[in-house]
Amino acid sequence: MIEGRFPWGSAAILGVVLVCAIAGPLLTPHGAGTISLRDSMTPPAWADGGAWAYPLGTDNLGRDILSRIIAGARVSVTIALYAIVLSGGLGTLLGMAAGYFGGIVDSVISRLIDVQMSVPAIPLAMLFAAVLPPGEGMVILVIVLTYWTWYARVVRGDVLSLRERDFIALAKVAGVSTPMIFGRHLVPNLLNTLLILATLQFGSVIVFEAGLSFLGLGIQPPQVSWGGMLADGRNFIEVAWWLITMPGLAIMAACLASNLLGDWLRDTYDPKRRQL
C-alpha cells in the first residue's frame, strides 16, 4: 500500500506459487489424487475436528486440500506462462507491424483489434469449447485470442512514436533489414512495457483459467485446477466451507500479488502510462 516501495509480500507470494509449480510433487504432503475415504470431509487443522495431517482439510473423497492446491499451482502457472508467451508474442508482432508499417497494414490490424475486443472473452471460450476438445490446449488458445490485443494496442502506440526517433531512421538509411530493426531496435525499447503487461496479465489469466475450469470447460479431471476444485466444492457448500474458501484464497493471493507487482513495475519504470 505504500507508494514506491518494492512489494516484497507480492514477490514472496509469487515465489511460493512458482516453487509449488516447479517442485509441486516434492512438496505435497499427500498425493493430489490420493483418496482416503476414512478421512473425508476433515475440516482445516485449526477448526473443530481438524487434524494437522491435513492442514487445510480434505474433500468428500478424503483428498488433501493443501496438496491439491499445490498441484493446481502447476497447472495454473503452466497455462499462464504459455498464454503470456504466445499472446505476448502474437500481440507484439502484430502491434509492431501495425505501428511500423502504418497504412493498410495498420488499418487491418487495428480493425482486427476492434473486432476481437467486441467479442467478450467468455462467450468466445464457449464457442471454442463447443468445437474443440476441452483441456489445456483449448484454454491456452482462448486466452491467447483474448489477450493478444492487450499487447498489440500498447506496442502499436509505442512503435508509432519510436518510428520517428533518429536511431530507427538511421538504421533504415543504413539499409538494416526490417527483421533486424524489429529485433535489434524495437524490441529492446519495448521490454519494460512488455514486462509490466506480462506481470499484470499473469493474475488476470489465472482468474480467467479458473473461471473456465469452474464451468467445466477448462482443465478436465483428474488434472487438478483451482477452478475445478471450486466446482467440486460447490456441491458441498452447506457442509464444508473450506472446500470453496481455500482454493479461492489461492487464486486471490496469486492474482493480488501479480497486480501489486505489476503496478509497482509500472509506477517505477513507466510512470507516464497510468492506463495499463
Q: For residue 228, give the DSSP letter.
A: H
Q: How far is CA 34 from CA 21, 58, 70, 114, 223, in A?
A: 19, 11, 14, 47, 13
Per-residue x/- track, 113-142, another protein (CB under 8 A): -xxx-xxxxxxx-xxxxxxx----------
Segment lying near another protein (by CB under 8 A), choices 25-33, 51-59, 95-103, 107-115: 107-115
Q: Does 260 bind another protein (CB under 8 A)?
A: yes
Cβ atoms of 32 and 224 closer than 8 Å: yes
Name which of 214, 234, 235 is nearest 226 in CA terms.
Answer: 214
Among 153, 214, 224, 232, binds another protein (CB under 8 A): 214
In whole angstroms, the minimum distance from the beta carbon of 68 to another protein comes to 16
Measured from the CB atom, is 168 or 251 closer to another protein?
Answer: 251
Among 20, 73, 94, 244, binds another protein (CB under 8 A): 244
Query: Which ranges constitute the DSSP H helices of the chain?
Result: 8-27, 65-101, 103-117, 121-131, 136-162, 166-173, 178-180, 187-215, 226-234, 242-269
Q: Does 90 bind another protein (CB under 8 A)?
A: no
Segment lying near another protein (by CB under 8 A), choices 32-40, 43-51, 64-72, 214-222: 214-222
Among 73, 154, 162, 210, binds another protein (CB under 8 A): 210
- Residue 196 CA to its chain's centroid (Å): 13
Partnered with residue 58 across adjacent β-strands are 64
Q: Copy the grid coordinates of residue 34.
A: 490420493
Q: Copy the grid coordinates of residue 262.
A: 505489476
In whole angstroms, the minimum distance from the beta carbon of 258 to another protein comes to 9
Among 16, 27, 55, 241, binds another protein (CB under 8 A): 241
Q: Does 207 bind another protein (CB under 8 A)?
A: yes
Measured from the CB atom, is 27 or 215 closer to another protein?
Answer: 215
In whole angstroms, the minimum distance from the beta carbon of 142 to another protein comes to 11
User: One-letter amino acid identity for 88?
Assistant: G
- Residue 20 CA to its chain's centroid (Å): 16
Q: Does 1 bind another protein (CB under 8 A)?
A: yes
Segment lying near another protein (by CB under 8 A), choices 16-24, 51-59, 67-75, 209-217: 209-217
Q: Does 60 bind another protein (CB under 8 A)?
A: no
Q: Is the peptide bond before 123 cis (omega within 30 degrees of 0)?
A: no
Q: Does 237 bind another protein (CB under 8 A)?
A: yes
Q: Does 111 bind another protein (CB under 8 A)?
A: yes
Q: Does 16 bind another protein (CB under 8 A)?
A: no
For residues 96 and 92, give the distance between their C-alpha atoms in angstroms, rounded to a whole number: 6
Q: Does 23 bind another protein (CB under 8 A)?
A: no
Which DSSP string corresponds to 10-67?
A: HHHHHHHHHHHHHHHHHH-SS-TT---GGGTTPPPTTSTT--TTSTT-B-TT--BHHH
Residues making contact with another protein (CB under 8 A):
1, 111-112, 114-116, 118-124, 126-132, 203, 207, 210-211, 214-217, 230, 233-234, 237-238, 241, 244-245, 248, 251-253, 255-256, 259-260
